[in-house]
Each structure stands twice: as C-alpha cells, then as structure tokens.
Amino acid sequence: MANQLAFPTRGPADRWGFAAFCGAMAALILAIVLVSPFGPKRATAARGEAGGSGTLHRPGGSLGEGVSDVPPGAPPPGATNPTLQRIAALGEPVYCGAGSRPLVALTFDDGPGPYTQETIDLLRSNGMTATFFTVGKLYAVPRFQGLLREEARLGAVGDHTWDHVSVNGMTASELDAEIGHTRRVASSDAGEPVFLFRPPLGQHDQAVDAYLRSQGMIDVLWSLDSEDSQGANAFQIYRNVRDHLSAGDIVLLHENRGTTQAALPRILELIRKRGLQTVTVPQLLTMDPPSNEQLRSHACP
C-alpha cells in the first residue's frame, strides 16, 4: 500500500476546545475596542464633554420652580444652535420671547458688585435662574473675582461693555475695545463662551448692530423695566413687575442695588404664584423663539 499522509480526525472535545479559543479571542478584541481612545465609550464621553447631550446644569425643581425640567433641546449658555444663529444673523435687538410658553427671563445689569453673591444665593435657594450682563472693568476688583463663574453656573453671563458707556457713534476699533475685549475676558472668567450683549442705557445704532452681527452676538434689550435704576423703591420695583409681568418677558433689573435685593424675594414669589418659569435668555430664545417678523417690528406679546 502506498504511503499516504494521515490527517488526524477531530473528536467532539477538540471541536469544543477550538470554539472556546475563538470565543476568548473575540472577547479580547472587544475589550481592546472598548478601552481604545477611538472606541464607542470614548466617543460618548467626548459628546458629553462638548455639551452635545444638551444637559443643563441648573438648580433643581419642578416646572415653574426652577429649570431642571428644561428639555434637552434648550442649550446651556454659550451653546449655538440654528435658532440662536438665526437671531444673531438677523441683527435685530431682542426684546422678548414669543410669549407662547409660561417662561420669563430675569436679567441683572452692571455687576459684578457687592450684592452679586446675595443675588446668586437668593435665586439658587428659590430654584430659579437669570442672565447677568456684566461690566468688564469690574472683573479685576479683588472682592468680585470668581463671581462671573458663579453666575455662569447659575445661569448665563452677558457683555455690558468694559467701561459702562454709551456705544453709539463708536468706530469699529472702539467697539472692539468696549465689546470685543469684554467678551473675551468674560468668556475666560466665566469659563464658557459669551455671546449676549446689552448696551448701556439700551442705546445702539447701525454701527453697533453691524459689529454685533459680524461677531455672531445677540443684542438683548428688555420688555419690562423694573425701574430700579431710576430711583424706584423696593415696593415700586415689585409693583412695576407685578403690574406688567407676562409670559415671554425679559425683565430688566440691576444686581448692585439694595432696593432691588429688597424687592427680589417678592418678585420670585410672584413668578411662582403665576405659574411661570425662569429661564436664561438663551433658553427663552430657544424654547419660545420670536419670529423674524416679531424681531424686525420689535413687538412683544
């Protein structure tokens, strides 16, 4: 008989051993993928770090008491989305939301200041939020350092010029010194991008509007003036808000006045009793956005 190469036949035990080996190799490959910088676990973390989930880090509370129930579609301050981009590109000042949802935006000008921490603490203890339009030259005051980051954690931070001066009639370079410089320092101090601007005294002209549009910034005015900067006492401030407050309002307040601090607890209680929810300006513009027609006509509900 001719010599032939004999190949051993595999029994059941050998087949089971080979299958176990393949399973072990598959598990090893899967483990390598999961811990790899390019694996799905890393990609999910990267989206979370970039704010891609839309999660809001805000005080707790149910709808009408805080902003923890804000849906994922509403961006944290500094985020960009098509609605905010549309408003910025239009280049018109914003006075209010559409008024179709029970939302209001409290805004505080002229800080940081001696009452800023008190304002933050009062809002936080009531589960509410706000937007703070801040003055650049105050950032370096030792007793105020760190307050912008606290305001950003509670709500949103905006630009209110470096020197708190009227920006009407300024050149492009002057506008950059007052607005652009403040924005850059505020973004650094707050720890997040700043893209909201409020002109001192509400004064703006075509050059200001063009500058803001070129920078992708939104000019935020107001629909309800508490008159706290015009000498109103605490009761008058409260009454002005009480008599005019409605859904979609952007309310003008100031964080550096004792009369405002005295009126604020009653204002927050009023908001709660009326079933309204405080949101930041970016949240208001995203959740209850004004139409282009409303922005062009400066109309509020």
pLDDT recorded at residue 301: 83
Domain boundaries, the chain: 12-48, 62-297
pLDDT recorded at residue 104: 98
Tokens of 157: 């931070």
pLDDT recorded at residue 19: 46
d(CA 288, CA 248): 7
pLDDT recorded at residue 92: 95
CATH topology of domain 62-297: TIM Barrel (3.20.20)
pLDDT recorded at residue 80: 66
pLDDT recorded at residue 81: 86
The torsion angle over the Cα atoms of residues 82, 158, 289 and 52, rounded to 10 degrees, is 40
- CA gyration radius for the chain? 27
| Residue numbers in the chain where pLDDT is lower than 70 | 1-80
- Name the pTM for this structure: 0.76
